[in-house]
Amino acid sequence: MSATMTPEFQAKDYKSDLKPIWCPGCGDYSVVQGIYRALAAIGRPPHEIAFISGIGCSSRIPGYTTAYGFNTVHGRALPIAQGIKLANPDLLVLAAGGDGDGFSIGGGHIAHLIRRNIDITYIVMDNQIYGLTKGQLSPTSQKGRVTCTSRYGSLEEPVNPLLYVLAYGAGFVAQASPTDLVGMASIIEEAIRYPGFAFVNIQSPCVTYGEEAQQIKGLKAISASLKDLGHDPSDRLAAMDPAQHYGQKMHLGVFYRNPEPPPTYDAMLRERQAELSKGAPSRDRILDLFIKK
Ligand code: SF4
């Protein structure tokens, strides 16, 4: 596209008429802006996009876009997103939710999506708390955190989403934050363009139940760009090093991008279907077998 040409789709084309009801200042407002920008850069029309979520504040996000959306049940965004992608591989499929939805209630699903390598981009808005249900301890809450369900401080270590998905072999792993909206939009775009399963953890502040250290000012103070640190995103083992500092340091950028993406499950399934249907009797011939003469 030349510099004078207008892109076919602009960020506003992905914005629905539904007014977000997040608390004023919630980090998810920035995340949805980042998603609009990334989708405009990709340029697929909204009717070719399916956006699936679970339950939680962040899971409201598909409704704020013009894509096809399905706000499913708690923790079940990923199985439904997989079914949609396999039923219609031509759709661009996004899944989104919070840290509780992805790593507690739905925690068992991500491992299977990663090993299948289905071409889905999964965006987790990680705020280390259950916001929608008024501030309970979540799977990524830091040890010692005082909430309404941990009055004397949590005794549990948090789940580390970055190490979790790297260890299971995800082909694309990145982290972003509303502290850098332009960077976040470009990371989401890169994740969508990756041909296979892609995971983006977004440190999205909960202004109502989050701690001060997890607000924009606190996050800025612990943020570091992986690019500026000279990190090589093609090295999975090297990615483990910054990833292990989750919770103490907020590394932004691409931790890992498989330089040789393997075939996706959806592509292999299509290939197998084509192979098995070669020389197969026609549908009418099969139906004939069940019709009594
Ligand atoms: Fe956002 Fe927290 Fe309000 Fe939920 S409770 S909308 S996460 S600020």
- Provide the pLDDT for residue 59: 96
- The secondary structure of 77-92 as a DSSP string is HHHHHHHHHHH-TTSE
- Provide the pLDDT for residue 291: 81
Q: Is 77 exposed, middle or buried (0-12, 13-18, 19+ CB in 10 A)?
A: buried
Does ligand 1 have an atom closer than 6 angstroms to the CB of 28? Answer: yes
Give pLDDT < 50 ranges for the chain.
Answer: none
Which atom of ligand 1 sits closest to the CA of residue 134?
5
Does ligand 1 have an atom closer than 6 angstroms to the CB of 23? Answer: yes
- Provide the pLDDT for residue 288: 87
Distance 94 CA to ligand 1 centre (A): 21
List the beta bridge partners of residue 51: 69, 94
Does ligand 1 have an atom closer than 6 angstroms to the CB of 142? Answer: no
Does ligand 1 have an atom closer than 6 angstroms to the CB of 224? Answer: no
- Tokens standing for residue 23: 């608390």
Which atom of ligand 1 sits closest to the CA of residue 135?
5
Distance 130 CA to ligand 1 centre (A): 9
Does ligand 1 have an atom closer than 6 angstroms to the CB of 126? Answer: no
Q: What is the pTM of this model?
A: 0.94
- Tokens standing for residue 60: 């409201």
The model's pLDDT over 188-239, given as tens digits with 9 standing for 90+, comes to 999 999 999 999 999 999 999 999 999 999 999 999 999 999 999 999 999 9
- Provide the pLDDT for residue 76: 97
SS3 164: helix
Which atom of ligand 1 sits closest to the CA of residue 25?
8
